[in-house]
Amino acid sequence: MNEQRGSTVYTPLRRRGDFHRVHAQGQRKGDTLLQVRVLPTPPRVPRTTPIRLGILASKKYGGAVERNRFKRVVRAALRALAEELQPGWDVLVLPRESREAKMPEIRDSLRHLLRELGVLHAADARNAEGG
């Protein structure tokens, strides 16, 4: 469910300690829609592992329906960026004012923030035009 069929784009960030580590030590960037924190995967995880994704949407963000919609949209946006992602990163995504945002807006925001944080490969012409 969290992974693209056929090839793995990302794996879920599961351990509470990993969430805390990325939240406390990770580089962060944000815009009006999202805040993204990234940190290289720890030594116990092979560097060839796809990125490990965590999504934090608290009850302050909204009810279960809104939180789950946000998580689905972020996962879909990340799958759209699959060819640009570099392995070996833990990525934590938090919402800002994204309740009304559509998938293309979240994808573009995520692409911009991940590129600034060094998680994406250099963009080639096809991906730069809307992926």
Structure tokens at 19: 């969430």
Question: Confidence class of residue 131 from pLDDT cuts 50, 70 and 90?
Answer: very low
Q: 10-122 belongs to which CATH class?
A: alpha beta
Structure confidence by residue, pLDDT tens digits, 61-78: 999 999 999 999 999 999
Q: What per-residue confidence (pLDDT) applies to 16?
A: 95
Structure confidence by residue, pLDDT tens digits, 10-54: 999 999 999 999 999 999 999 999 999 999 999 898 888 899 999
Q: How many CB atoms lie within 10 A of CB 57?
A: 19
- Report how far apart, in Å, the C-alpha atoms of 91 and of each of 4, 8, 36, 125 are: 17, 15, 7, 25
Question: Mean pLDDT across the stretch 94-107?
Answer: 89
What value does the mean pLDDT of the chain take? 87
List the domain boundaries for the chain: 10-122
Q: What per-residue confidence (pLDDT) applies to 114?
A: 96
Q: What per-residue confidence (pLDDT) applies to 98?
A: 73
Question: Confidence class of residue 4 from pLDDT cuts 50, 70 and 90?
Answer: very low
Contact 34, 98 (CB under 8 A): yes
Which amino acid would we find at residue 96? R
Rounded to whole angstroms, how far apart are CA atoms 116 and 74? 18
Rounded to whole angstroms, how far apart are CA atoms 47 and 50? 8
- Report how far apart, in Å, the C-alpha atoms of 95 and of each of 39, 43, 47, 100 are: 18, 28, 27, 11
